[in-house]
A and B are shown apart, each in its own frame.
Chain A
Amino acid sequence: MSSKADWPLWEVFVRAKRGVSHVHAGTVHAPDAELALQNARDLFTRRSEGISLWVVKSNDITASDPDDRDALFDPADDKTFRHPTDFELPDEVANM
């Protein structure tokens, strides 16, 4: 099915404004990085949604396996002491 006429897929990340991170917006097809950027610009920033773009080939992304979810993420669940809400302080101590 795949031929020379099919362009690879790129993941697009957009920084909406200064002070915030790039956030995943979606994908474009493009033969190379330059056109991937241009296509991402035309697709994801038509309404002034961004001031900076990243594109990366989808194939170059390494994702965690959903089957590993329990092993990767569950161990964090019982360490509630990492969260400030785990520590009850007297009301007199404001804003700590």
Chain B
Amino acid sequence: MAADSDALQARFDRLIDADERIEPRDWMPDEYRKTLVRQIAQHAHSEIIGMQPEGNWLTRAPSLRRKAILTAKVQDEAGHGLYLYGAAETLGTPREELLDRLHTGRQKYSSIFNYPTLTWADVGAIGWLVDGAAIMNQVPLCRCSFGPYARAMIRICKEESFHQRQGFQIMLTLAKGTPEQKTLAQDALDRWWWPSIMMFGPPDAESVHGDQNMRWGIKRFGNDELRQKFIDATVPQADLLGLVIPDPDMYLDEESGHYVHGTIDWDHFWDVVKGDGPCNRERLATRVGAHDDGTWVREAATAYADKQAQRAAEAAA
């Protein structure tokens, strides 16, 4: 037995070292499977919960064009959640179990969605900053060692390329619009900046799973590296918008060519992760409410399918 499992482990390691993909029915270490289920599920939950802050503005979008775009975007998020649940399910955990873990607080989603969308400009800021940060995180996942996750991410990244652009365009329109609109844009940047750069997670020095995930090809870059990349890309965009990044300590380090940011309030980050962000309770309550309210519908659909199957069997007999 031991020899068998050694051989399986060796084969798995060989595939990982060769940068090949692991597929669902391959042998894999339990910890690899568990890590992936957790990460993919949390990613899926983030997409589904992430529909809410933007969904909040569907009925109030200020033009029909913006209404259509936002509807398509929120719909994409539902779709991306479904792609990801599908990838997680290939590892043997059914979606209803994953949803149950979300609904009972045993699994998390990205803390960024625990912030409120107070104005229309927040829809722009989410597209520009939140989707921008998400893309930085997600592009490397297209090369993730687990095949179904990598394939889902390829599809998602392709579809999401319009999300950040539409967000930036909203910000640009506001920033170049009336003085009131520009105020809205700056206010949104002020509120979304710090949560956005926290999306990359705690500094690598404090990150718990970092090293193992790197070795397994689940993670390709460190949190700090991606955060830096995001900041370097975003600061010039803010300049172009004529908006001010709300970090008075930030400066451009001429030697490295990187922007150095001020101190991040990680205590606040952990408060939000642990459930004490501005909207944690509301987001979860809405999701659980939709699920519970839908129980009779899902049951009815199953009952109808059973009846139909029975009728077909009787007709054939």
A/B touching: CB–CB < 8 A: yes
A residues touching B (Cβ–Cβ < 8 Å)?
1-7, 9, 26-29, 31-32, 35, 42-43, 46-47, 63, 65-66
Report, as a range, how many residues of chain B touch the other chain. Answer: 20 to 34
CB-based contact B305/A32 at 8 Å: yes
Q: Are B79 and A32 in contact (CB under 8 A)?
A: no
Residues of A within 8 A of B9 (CB): none
* B314 CB-CB contact with A under 8 Å: no
Contact A46 B302, CB 8 Å, known A26-B83, A26-B152: no
B159 pairs with A47, CB closer than 8 A: yes
Contact with B89, one of A3, A9, A31, A47 (Cβ below 8 angstroms): A9
Quick check: B94 and A6 within 8 Å, CB to CB?
A: yes
Chain B residues whose CB sits within 8 angstroms of the CB of A66 once the complex forms: 23, 25-27
CA distance A5 to B301 in the complex (A): 8
CB pair A32–B159 under 8 Å, yes or no, is no
B83 → chain A closest CB, angstroms: 6
Q: Is B254 an interface residue (CB 8 A)?
A: no
Given A4-B303, A6-B94, answer yes or no on A46-B298 (Cβ-Cβ < 8 Å). Answer: no
Report B's interface with A, CB cutoff 8 A. Answer: 23, 25-27, 72, 75-76, 79, 82-83, 86, 89, 94-97, 100, 152, 159, 294-295, 298-299, 301-305, 308
**In the assembled complex, which residues on chain B have CB atoms less than 8 Å from the CB atom of A63?**
25
A9 vs B96: C-alpha distance when bound (angstroms): 11
Listed by A's residue number, 27 A-B pairs whose Cβ atoms lie within 8 Å are A1-B94, A1-B96, A2-B94, A4-B298, A4-B302, A5-B96, A5-B294, A6-B298, A6-B302, A7-B302, A9-B89, A9-B94, A9-B95, A26-B83, A26-B86, A28-B82, A32-B301, A35-B301, A43-B83, A46-B72, A46-B75, A46-B76, A46-B79, A47-B159, A65-B25, A66-B25, A66-B26
Contact indicator A5/B97 (Cβ below 8 Å): no
- From known contacts A2-B96, A27-B89, A66-B27, infer whether A43 and B82 are also in contact, taking CB-CB under 8 Å: yes
Secondary structure at the B interface, as helix, strand, loop or mixed, is helix
Q: How far is the CB of B312 from chain A (nearest CB, A)?
A: 11
B96 touches A27 (CB 8 A): no
Q: Is the CB of A43 within 8 A of B79?
A: yes
A66 to B308, CA, bound (A): 36
Q: In the bound complex, how far is the Cα of B303 from the Cα of A63, in angstroms?
A: 29
Chain B nearest CB from A18 CB (Å) reads: 22
17 additional contacts, CB 8 Å, given A2-B94, A5-B298, A65-B25? Answer: A1-B100, A4-B298, A5-B96, A5-B295, A5-B302, A6-B94, A6-B96, A7-B301, A7-B302, A9-B95, A26-B82, A26-B152, A31-B298, A32-B305, A46-B72, A63-B25, A66-B26
- Of chain B, the residue at the smallest CB distance from A64 is B25
